[in-house]
């Protein structure tokens, strides 16, 4: 199955970002991609954290979700819709949510980010819990390729990648990691963490990132990549808009899991 991590440099303009995402998804489809992954907050990197509250949507309704469904349906591919803010219905915070759409444009899975990023060093400071409510449940969803093979798709978001127990909570063939890593943490840990999650789980990892200087002055690390189950980076783009495409080889993955049956040797389980 051919996949793509789509890298963006999203702005504070939702309409502009949605148009850019649609163009990049079309480019991916033209390359024969069957599974495309957008980055975290593909729809908005606002000037302040609370901007995401202004564009929140109720689950199943809203222009951003309609646009994602149309991207999947119009291009006949599976789409992991990066993330968007979904209403909690109980307070003034939102969920940072990943939605999966099938080639008919139907939403088949939802995952709410479970681990909320906090970092402070000098003038650089982040605390997602100020505007986000964390999710409660891991999600692994089935994705069917054009040959009829069913792949188990594990959903995670950005800071989640630092928590290996999430990736061991349910066995998946592919893990997606839509992200907006900072330059500070990305330069130090991004590739290391992604490769570790791939090796530990003998799984493919598709990491779609924000990558560049944004209109709000923030710079994100980029380096969207696809990592194979042996930890090799098979496709990567450092910065700027890109469709980072790669073939996922199910036979190679099965062979590696047979040669090194580490997943069957686990002693501690959730």
Q: Which residues are the active-site residues?
A: 40, 113, 158
* Residue spans of alpha helices (H) in 36-109: 51-54, 63-75
Distance CA 156, CA 57 (A): 20
Burial 34-72 (b: 16+ CB within 10 A, else e): bbbbbbbbbbbbbeeeebbbebbbeeeebebbebbbbbb
Beta bridge partners of 36: 4, 79
Cβ atoms of residues 191 and 225 within 8 Å: yes
Please report, in angstroms and rounded to a whole number, the separation of the first and last CA atoms in the chain: 30
Beta bridge partners of 54: none
Give the alpha-carbon dihedral of 128, 50, 8, 114, to 10 degrees: 30
**Residue 206: CA count within 13 A, CB half-sphere:** 32
Cβ atoms of residues 117 and 129 within 8 Å: no
């Amino acid at each position: 199955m051919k996949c793509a991590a789509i890298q963006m440099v999203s702005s504070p303009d939702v309409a502009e970002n949605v148009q850019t995402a649609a163009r990049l998804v079309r480019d991916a489809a033209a390359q024969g991609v069957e599974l495309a992954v957008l980055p975290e907050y593909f729809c908005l990197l606002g000037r302040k954290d609370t901007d995401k509250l202004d564009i929140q949507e109720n689950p199943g309704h809203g222009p951003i979700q309609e646009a994602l469904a149309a991207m999947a349906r119009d291009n006949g591919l599976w789409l992991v819709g990066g993330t968007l803010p979904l209403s909690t219905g109980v307070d003034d915070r939102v969920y940072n949510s990943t939605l999966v759409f099938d080639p008919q444009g139907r939403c088949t899975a939802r995952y709410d980010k479970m681990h909320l990023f906090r970092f402070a060093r000098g003038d650089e400071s982040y605390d997602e819990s100020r505007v986000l409510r964390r999710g409660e449940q891991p999600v692994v969803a089935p994705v069917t390729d054009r040959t009829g093979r069913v792949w188990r798709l594990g959903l995670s978001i950005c800071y989640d990648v630092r928590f290996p127990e999430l990736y061991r909570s349910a066995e998946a063939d592919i893990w997606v990691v839509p992200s907006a890593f900072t330059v500070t943490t990305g330069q130090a840990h991004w590739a290391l963490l992604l490769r570790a999650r791939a090796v530990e789980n003998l799984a493919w990892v598709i990491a779609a990132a924000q990558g560049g200087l944004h209109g709000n002055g923030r710079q994100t690390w980029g380096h969207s990549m696809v990592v194979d189950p042996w930890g090799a980076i098979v496709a990567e783009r450092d910065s700027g808009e890109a469709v980072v495409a790669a073939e996922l080889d199910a036979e190679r993955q099965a062979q590696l899991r047979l040669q090194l049956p580490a997943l069957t040797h686990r002693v501690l389980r959730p």
